[in-house]
Amino acid sequence: MPLHRPLLALAALLMLAACARTPAPEPVHFFAEGLPERLSDWNVLYVADGRLRLNAQVLPYDLDSALFSDHAHKLRTVWMPAGTPARYQPDEAMDFPVGTIISKTFYYPRGEGDTVLRSDDAGPEPDGGLTLGKVRLVETRLLVRRASGWIALPYVWNAEQSEARLMRTGELVPLTLAGADGKRQQLEYMVPDENQCAGCHGTDLKSKQIFPIGPKARHLNHDFAYADGKANQLRHWQDVGYLADVPAGELPRNVAWNDAQAPLEARARSYLDINCGHCHSQKGAARTSGMWLDANTRDPLRIGRCKLPIAAGQGTGNRAWDIAPGKPDDSILTYRMESTDPGVMMPELGRSIVHEEGVELIRQWIAAMSAQECGA
Number of domains in the chain: 2
For residue 252, give every residue at least 6 positions away whose Cβ sits within 8 Å of its Cβ, in sequence order, or none. Answer: 90, 91, 216, 217, 218, 221, 295
Residue 328 near residue 367 (C-beta atoms within 8 A): yes
Residue 30: per-residue pLDDT? 97
**Domain final residue pick, 244, 278, 306:** 244
Same domain, 225 and 358: no
Same domain, 233 and 274: no
Residue 175: per-residue pLDDT? 96
Buried b (16+ CB within 10 A) or exposed e, 127-143: ebbbebeebbbbbbbbb
**Domain final residue pick, 178, 209, 244:** 244
Same domain, 223 and 122: yes
The percentage of residues in the chain with a pLDDT greater than 90, rounded to a whole number, is 72
pLDDT exceeds 60 at position 62:
yes
Residue 196: per-residue pLDDT? 65
Residue 170 near residue 192 (C-beta atoms within 8 A): yes
pTM: 0.90
Same domain, 239 and 268: no
Confidence of residue 371 (pLDDT cuts 50, 70, 90): confident
Residue 21 lies in a domain: no
Residue 333 lies in a domain: yes
Nearest-angstrom CA–CA distance, 169 and 342: 19
> DSSP 3-state assignment of 9?
helix
Q: How many residues does the chain have?
A: 376
Same domain, 228 and 283: no
Residue 253 lies in a domain: no
Same domain, 133 and 175: yes
Same domain, 193 and 280: no
Confidence of residue 207 (pLDDT cuts 50, 70, 90): low
Residue 195 lies in a domain: yes
Nearest-angstrom CA–CA distance, 359 and 256: 15
Same domain, 99 and 162: yes
Residue 50 lies in a domain: yes
* Low-confidence winner among 26-40, 138-152, 154-168, 185-199 (lowest mean pLDDT): 185-199
Instruction: Give the burial class of 8: count Cβ atoms within 10 A of its Cβ; 0-12 exposed, 13-18 middle, 19 or more buried.
Output: exposed
Task: Provide the mean pLDDT of the chain.
Answer: 89
Helix (H) or strand (E) holding 244: strand 243-244
- Sign of the Cα torsion 294, 210, 124, 54 reads negative
Among residues 114, 111, 107, 258, the alpha carbon closest in space to that of 181 is found at 111
Dmax over CA atoms of the chain, in Å, equals: 96
Nearest-angstrom CA–CA distance, 239 and 246: 11
The percentage of residues in the chain with a pLDDT greater than 70, rounded to a whole number, is 89
Same domain, 140 and 285: no
What secondary structure letter does DSSP report for 96? P
Give the chain's radius of gyration (CA, Å). 23
Residue 22: per-residue pLDDT? 53
Bridge partners, residue 188, by sequence: 174
Residue 118 near residue 179 (C-beta atoms within 8 A): yes
Which residues form the domain of 119?
A: 28-244
Confidence of residue 209 (pLDDT cuts 50, 70, 90): confident
Residue 204: per-residue pLDDT? 56
> Comparing 180 with 215, which gets the higher pLDDT?
215
Residue 119 phi/psi, 5-degree rounding, is: -150, 165
Helix (H) or strand (E) holding 364: helix 356-367
- Sign of the Cα torsion 92, 219, 227, 144 reads negative
pLDDT in tens, 300-353: 999 999 999 886 667 788 899 999 999 999 999 999 999 998 889 888 888 899
> DSSP 3-state assignment of 274?
helix
Residue 259 lies in a domain: no
Nearest-angstrom CA–CA distance, 59 and 129: 11
Residue 282 lies in a domain: yes
pLDDT in tens, 173-190: 999 999 988 899 999 999
pLDDT exceeds 70 at position 199:
no
pLDDT exceeds 90 at position 66:
yes
Same domain, 57 and 102: yes
Residue 152 lies in a domain: yes
Same domain, 136 and 50: yes
What secondary structure letter does DSSP report for 32? S
Query: Could you tell me how far CA 27 lies from the centroid of its own chain?
Result: 25
**Domain final residue pick, 244, 276, 307:** 244
Residue 11: per-residue pLDDT? 40
pLDDT in tens, 289-305: 889 999 999 999 999 99
Same domain, 216 and 268: no
Among residues 213, 363, 361, the alpha carbon closest in space to that of 273 is found at 213
Confidence of residue 220 (pLDDT cuts 50, 70, 90): very high
